[in-house]
Structure 1
Amino acid sequence: LWSSSRFSDENVSRFRQCLKENPRYLQDKVQHYFKDNTHRLTLTMSPDESFLEKQAEAEEQKLHQKIQNLSDADHKDIYEKGLQLLAAQSTAQDASCLPALKVSDIEPIIPYTPVQPGNAGGVPVQYCEQPTNGMVYFRAMCNLNSLPEDLKIYVPLFCSIITKLGCGELDYRQQAQRIELKTGGMSVSPQIIPDTDDLDLYEQGIILSSSCLERNLPDMFQLWSDIFNCPRFDDEQRLRVLVMMSAQELSNGISYSGHMYAMTRAARSLTPTADLQEAFSGMDQVKFMKRIAEMTDLTSVLRKLPRIKRHLLNPENMRCAVNATPQKMSEAAGEVERFIGNIAANRKERKPVRPTVVEQHSGLIDPECVRAVPFTHADYASLCILARMMTAKFLHGEIREKGGAYGGGARMGGGGLFSFYSYRDPNSTQTLSAFRGGVEWARAAKFTQQDIDEAKLSVFSAVDAPVAPSDKGLGRFLNGITDEMKQRYRERLFAVTDKNLIDVAGRYLGVGQQTCGVAILGPENESIRKDPSWVVK
């Protein structure tokens, strides 16, 4: 409303006088300059449904025209340059002139993180004193072992909406305002934690996360208490909006995280953990949410939410963790105690649940995901080094530089699965051969000690990545990985040799030695369609 971008005292005084004379001063200006202003331009853009086909056709015509204009000399020149490029890609680069760290520069011992185990109303609590700068971080892990099998597919949906439907006396708008005003955010997400010793054991649950300023502790726990005690499951229209948003986010994620979906799909038959991961965050969940979003009546879904809530938001199946400053830890502990007392009505004794038994299957011959070893196994460190080395020294060149994919490589996951992957790959079937070539490359020891050292440095860069005070002790709380276990893993990383790498490549990745699965996510592939060993969905 003022021409000058710098408000003088006179302008501020004038603005205050206008507000005093007319409390609706700002509303009137918005009405005048925006709602009633007829000087406007409306631009509507409509997508062309055949855009991709037209684009592909135009590119094909352009390529055909350029090829027709080439002379014999041009063809020969392009062919020779292609051979030169292939030779350059196959030549090992001399990196000795570059400054580099050495493995000996890495600290051999990790700094230990002290935590104090406690108890609040019968619920285990882990307290970790950290310099959080006036913030308190709260997590709670709620086990879902007692949840009926037919409701498990709904768990990700339940997690995404439980803090957005309203609770207690607050509708969803008031709840959102309260969360924004009093906390740094409140979230709930599914959690599948593989056992550190046995690939066929895991913990399934949901994790509640929130943070707030120390002075807002009572308000934050009051919000959690209302969510536990009286969530609102009566607004079908609000549920429909949240379902549509969730389904759209999952669909959008396929284009830029397709390789993650493919790895999850390939791994589903290898371990019980991976099978549940496919249900919670794989293509099965994408298809399920798409089906829910297309339902005209969500009443049946609304009726399931209270049943899920009774099993999940139950202090009998819960453990908590708090990170705060030493000065405020006792106050935080008192608030946790009151919170557990407020939700005690949800406590119900449950009968022991029979452990989930998942039948194991062998996959196809060419591996993408291979059943390997858990975190505490002596070979886990060697497989981590092998994955990094194979990615940097073999797979990157074969899949990206020669194959034309956006990227690719190998990784050793915490769930005990060794995975190969590529993404945005125009030659996916040839990439399967590159995966096999990477294994043979490792078994033939076509690498140097420098390659091993570089892989170790790469692994240590992740192992030693800075951990924020809010996340200290989180590995112990969620996965049961203690500092002593981390130190043993560190010592094994230091001790990996070329013989270890050759050994694990043969024992876990060699043909006929592994239980594996393969998945390709993408458009229809003619060679795969004709191959009876593939299942096309």
Structure 2
Amino acid sequence: MIPSLKLSDVESEPEYLPMKQFQEKEMTLWIHELPTRGIVYVTLYFPLPLLEKEELSKVSFLCGLLGELRTAGMSSEQLKLNTKTDLGRLNFSMQYYQDQECRERCKAYFQVDFSVLKEKLGKIPEYAAEILLGTQFDEKERVREILIQAIEGMRQNILGAGHHAAMRRAGAHISASGAAAEYSGGMTCYQWMRGISGNYEKEYEHLVEDWRLLCRRIFTCNGLIISMTGGDDSEFARRLWNVFPKGEKKPAYAVYEPESLDREGIEIPSEVAYAVCSAGMTEDTVYGRMKVLARYLTLNYLWNRIRVQGGAYGTGLQVSDSGMVSFYSYRDPDAAGSLRVYREAPEVMRKIPGGQQNITGVILGTLAEDAPLRSSREQGAFADRQQMLGVSYEQRCRRRNEILSMTPEKLAGMAESLEDMLNHENICVVGGAMQIEKCGITQIEKL
């Protein structure tokens, strides 16, 4: 007989990730004392200033320019050579953390990630100043190349993994973080880049001024959070913090009104589709139980109905820590049929058999998904995210207990909660024209 893991074999509490927090005047420093074999991971979180949603696309594209263009002191070739020599990791991104109490607001940050050998830690302030404060943006043809590459890269992502684009689009109707993510990395951002590309000669000079102004507004020490994993050097953090000038006061939260409920289609040249139905969790939703429910429906109901019977290449139900619940299908020959399957899920749940059904495997799989094996860098990043979201260790313990204590009866009892969510559904289908038409969608945007 093959040995199997029992629930009693599992730790009842999640791994505790200690974080030291230092506040010295206006400087905030988070330290994660984890073994990193001589590598130090440093993350800078710059709060975004007051920006309209439409400005987020410009900031998002800025992420792809930094480190690729010449600076005040280095050519682009010299900069790339030096950063490859001195840094193990240099990455720029935008991150949003949904407020758990108000769906119209989130924390919005421009994030910069470095990794270096401990003996080269002093290089980070030099590169931070050179790149974040000194990028020139005056290489017109190089910027055009990066723009064309970004457009094609996003186009290929939408064609090959349209469910991600559809979830971003649907998420814009659910929360502030969802709306911000759509404008900075979804179809809205893609269309903005296409518009710039089509009128590049006229737009370029205006964009250069916009990017220079955005850098002056974003890269300041106001509200800056420095996170270190594998290093505990407050003197280094102080030197890094002092690189940046003081600027305008930044808000604690970005306020972005989610868009109204909608059914949308994104038309692509394809015979298959990606069908997404998303909704926000209701106030009475138990997060841990919802994670188990998602895995149960994915492996049983959705897999059988959409993958096996419907012929789609993949399907699932995802639950995000921002409070969004999303059904999706992947390379689906029948998007309209999949949307019907999603709507029927609550009724199927009500018929889940009682105590005789063993859901131990589903619970163990949920635990593994919720707490995967993480490297030291990933542990530090995870701890940062929990801090940003306001999730305490006690809350993590409660969520783990919600997962471990799940029963078939509790699963069936969540049918009403899921039905309430689906009454406020947001649908987005990425696919060919015929697929979208069969879904009864009239609001269509072409790729």
When residues 446 and 403 of structure 1 are mapped into structure 2, their CA distance, relative to the original with a 3 A threshold, is farther
When residues 411 and 446 of structure 1 are mapped into structure 2, their CA distance, relative to the original with a 3 A threshold, is farther
1:100-139 to structure 2, matched below 5 A, reads 100-119=4-23, 122-139=26-43
When residues 147 and 419 of structure 1 are mapped into structure 2, their CA distance, relative to the original with a 3 A threshold, is same
Render the CA deviation track for 1:122-149: whole Å, top value 9, x for unaligned. 2211011111101110001111142355
1:144 aligns to 2:144 (yes or no): no
Please tell me the residue identity of whatever aligns with 1:509. Answer: E
Render the CA deviation track for 1:319-349: whole Å, top value 9, x for unaligned. 1100115xxx23xx22221121122xx2123
Native 8 Å contact 1:120 1:340 kept in 2: no
SS of residue matched to 1:405: coil
Please tell me the residue identity of whatever aligns with 1:119. Answer: Q
Partner of 1:341: 242
SS of residue matched to 2:248: coil
SS of residue matched to 1:458: helix
Native 8 Å contact 1:115 1:129 kept in 2: yes
1:491-502 to structure 2, matched below 5 A, reads 491-502=401-412
2-side partners of 1:294 and 1:525: how far apart? 28
Q: Structure 2 unaligned runs (5+)? A: 265-274
Partner of 2:214: 308
1:191 aligns to 2:95 (yes or no): yes
1-side partners of 2:347 and 2:31: how far apart? 48
When residues 352 and 417 of structure 1 are mapped into structure 2, their CA distance, relative to the original with a 3 A threshold, is closer
Larger strand proportion of the pair: 2
375, 379, 383: which one pairs with 2:290?
A: 383
Partner of 1:471: 378
Which has the bigger relative contact order, CA under 8 A and spacing at least 6?
2
When residues 362 and 286 of structure 1 are mapped into structure 2, their CA distance, relative to the original with a 3 A threshold, is closer
Partner of 2:399: 489
1:250-269 to structure 2, matched below 5 A, reads 250-269=154-173
1:517 aligns to 2:426 (yes or no): yes
SS of residue matched to 1:316: coil
Pairwise CA RMSD: 2.5
Partner of 2:174: 270
Q: TM-score, normalised by structure 2?
A: 0.89
When residues 399 and 383 of structure 1 are mapped into structure 2, their CA distance, relative to the original with a 3 A threshold, is same
Deviation at 1:394, TM superposition (A): 0.8
2-side partners of 1:168 and 1:425: how far apart? 50
Bigger Cα displacement from structure 2, 477-486 vs 232-241: 477-486
When residues 228 and 349 of structure 1 are mapped into structure 2, their CA distance, relative to the original with a 3 A threshold, is same
Bigger Cα displacement from structure 2, 103-112 vs 405-414: 103-112
Please tell me the residue identity of whatever aligns with 2:443. Answer: V
1-side partners of 2:163 and 2:354: how far apart? 27
Partner of 2:132: 228
Q: Which has the larger radius of gyration?
A: 1
SS of residue matched to 1:521: strand
When residues 398 and 390 of structure 1 are mapped into structure 2, their CA distance, relative to the original with a 3 A threshold, is same
When residues 450 and 473 of structure 1 are mapped into structure 2, their CA distance, relative to the original with a 3 A threshold, is farther
2-side partners of 1:367 and 1:112: how far apart? 35
Native 8 Å contact 2:105 2:253 kept in 1: no
Q: TM-score, normalised by structure 1?
A: 0.75
Please tell me the residue identity of whatever aligns with 2:243. Answer: N
2-side partners of 1:464 and 1:479: how far apart? 13
Partner of 1:423: 330
Native 8 Å contact 1:476 1:482 kept in 2: no
Please tell me the residue identity of whatever aligns with 2:304. Answer: G
Render the CA deviation track for 1:191-218: whole Å, top value 9, x for unaligned. 1111244444311121110100011111
Partner of 2:300: 393
Q: Structure 1 unaligned runs (5+)? A: 1-96
Partner of 2:118: 214
What is the aligned residue count?
A: 430
SS of residue matched to 2:292: helix
Deviation at 1:530, TM superposition (A): 7.0
Native 8 Å contact 1:189 1:208 kept in 2: yes
When residues 449 and 187 of structure 1 are mapped into structure 2, their CA distance, relative to the original with a 3 A threshold, is farther
